[in-house]
Chains A and B, each alone.
Chain A
Amino acid sequence: GAGVSQSPSNKVTEKGKDVELRCDPISGHTALYWYRQSLGQGLEFLIYFQGNSAPDKSGLPSDRFSAERTGGSVSTLTIQRTQQEDSAVYLCASSLGRDVGAYGYTFGSGTRLTVV
């Protein structure tokens, strides 16, 4: 598509429930990133996918968080047993490749997650 698409745009869930957030990157972009943005904070790295390589999960805050990328395209971020501190905007970005010296990120509009 023309841009990075994320769904849903807003999600309100009860504490303890599981949620799935979807990201559809730009066609042809091999690198895909998930970040989390809390109110007034910067962007916190969560996970990175590059092609068919094993993902870099070093930013996932706990084992309640997981992500997968199917067919080198669409990615799903899953949060199990949600907690109130998980409330944030979850941003997905894609880029042409992993060379951060050459390629900028294109971000989606994000999913605003509210845990009540």
Chain B
Amino acid sequence: QQPVQSPQAVILREGEDAVINCSSSKALYSVHWYRQKHGEAPVFLMILLKGGEQKGHEKISASFNEKKQQSSLYLTASQLSYSGTYFCGTVRSGAGSYQLTFGKGTKLSVIP
């Protein structure tokens, strides 16, 4: 089942923070986050496994709440280069599948 991302779109001024959420109705094994700029390929950001661990990448970090089956991506002190569409991809626990199911994406626009 496709994870649900929120918000669908967000506009930030440089330096502001944002949170993007990814929720599933099923138990998850792992969550991936990707960023896609217009006309380009999605780029891998990070993987999170069940267990609530938090990971960081530059000023972008994420957490995974296993009880809520939700992952959140945190963007702090946003830069113009953060603009793009962010996708979460999930794999269900025990599903025996090895491919990601992606959400519809969150479009982030950072303006000066």
Q: A interface vs B, CB < 8 Å?
A: 4, 31, 33, 35, 40-45, 48, 50, 56, 59, 91, 98-110
Within the complex, what minimum Cβ distance (angstroms) separates A104 from chain B?
A: 4
Q: How many A-B residue pairs have CB under 8 A?
A: 67
Chain B residue, CB-CB nearest to A59:
B99
Query: What are 19 pairs between A and B in contact, CB < 8 Å?
Result: A33-B100, A41-B104, A42-B102, A42-B103, A42-B104, A43-B87, A45-B101, A91-B42, A99-B98, A100-B47, A100-B99, A101-B29, A101-B30, A104-B32, A104-B47, A105-B44, A106-B44, A107-B34, A109-B41
Interface of chain B residues 31 through 49 with chain A (CB within 8 A): 32, 34, 40-44, 46-47, 49
Known: A42-B104, A91-B42, A110-B41. A56 touches B47 (CB 8 A): no
